Amino acid sequence: MGISVSNLACERGSTRILEGVDFDVPDGQALILRGPNGAGKTTLLRCLAGLTPPAGGTLTHDTDDVAYAAHADGLKAQLTAGENLRFWARVYGSGDIAPAADAFRLHDLVDRPAQYLSAGQKRRLALARLTLTNRPIWCLDEPTVSLDAQNVGRFADAVRAHMAGGGVALIATHIDLGLDTARVLDISQFTASADGTEHDPFLDEALS
């Protein structure tokens, strides 16, 4: 299974951000995506998750195998942490939320409305959702934002457990997660040449 991408091009709005993206991540492996702000990490992850259609190239994986986690936590402030988790468990057809809550030490918080959680607690709640999806490919966009060192460790454990089960993880992050086997890929090498506008059909000189 795994994930294999060849010559992928991604656009944001109508501007080409990335092109010629090539990488393979076999089962049980993780790939850390690095690159300066605006390099296109989010664009790439949204494309891999099937939210943005690729502008070129091929993806071998089924986007229905991807569990995506964005910058935003996607939590409902009026619902409790437990209700939030249970909602996603039902959407994904997975049973008990206890293991997911355990992995991120959320059991004391399950009855607390999400609006009274701290930023780090919300993040943990959002990450706990991933383990409920039972999907083999994780595409994570800056998952460790607002997490303290201890919880970064718990998150790394969750990723390791996911990989041990044959899962794949693509993680855009700037910090060291302590995942020894993970490969690091600098995506700034795939930045679309020049300014990313030469694919614009309206830049043809003959139009002037």
Partner 1 sequence: MSIWKYANPKKFMETSGWLLPYVTVSAVVCLCVGLVWGFFFTPDDFRQGSTVKIIYLHVPSALMAINAWLMMLVASLVWLVRRHHVSALAAKAAAPVGVTMTLIALATGAIWGEPLWGTYWAWDPRLTSFLILFLFYLGYMALWEAIEDPDTAADLTSVLCLVGSVFALLSRYAVNFWNQGLHQGASLSLDKEKNVADVFYHPLLVSIAGFVLLFLALVLLRTRTEIRARRLKALLRREQTA
Partner 2 sequence: MIPVLQRDLALAVKGGGGFGLGLAFFLIIVVLVPFGVGPQSELLSRIAPGILWVGALLSCLLSLDRIFQLDFEDGSLDLLATSPLPLETLALAKAAAHWLTTGLPLTLAAPILGLLLSLPTSAVFWLVLTLAIGTPALSLIGAFGAALTVGLKRGGLLLSILVLPLYIPTLIFGAEVVRRGADGLATATPLLFLGGITAGALAILPFATAAAVRINLR
DSSP string, 153-190: HHHHHHHHHHHHTT-EEEEE-SS----TT-EEEEGGGG
Site residue total, partner 2 (CB under 8 A): 31
Q: How far is the CB of 38 from partner 1 (least distance, A)?
A: 10
Single residue of 4, 34, 87, 105 touching partner 2 by CB under 8 A? 87
Contact between 204 and partner 1 by CB under 8 A: the answer reads yes
Name the binder of 64 from partner 1, partner 2, none, CB < 5-8 A by kind.
Answer: partner 2
Contact between 188 and partner 1 by CB under 8 A: the answer reads no
Site for partner 1 in 11-70 (CB under 8 A): 13-15
Neighbours of 70 (CB within 10 A): 17
Contact between 129 and partner 2 by CB under 8 A: the answer reads yes
Locate 165 and state its tokens.
């089960």
Residues 6+ apart with CB under 8 A from 62: none
Within 13 Å and on the Cβ side, how many CA atoms surround 201? 0
Single residue of 18, 21, 66, 100 touching partner 2 by CB under 8 A? 66
| Residue among 51, 38, 47 at smallest CA distance from 170 | 47
Locate 56 and state its tokens.
């070129």
Output 11 or 160, the one with its CB closest to partner 2.
11
Q: How far apart are CA 120 and CA 126, in angstroms?
A: 10
Locate 36 and state its tokens.
């300066």
Single residue of 59, 92, 152, 199 touching partner 2 by CB under 8 A? 92
Output 84 or 160, the one with its CB closest to partner 2.
84
Q: Which residues bind partner 1 (CB under 8 A)?
A: 13-15, 194-197, 200-204, 206-208
Q: Which residues bind partner 2 (CB under 8 A)?
A: 46, 49-53, 63-64, 66-79, 83, 87-88, 90-93, 129, 133
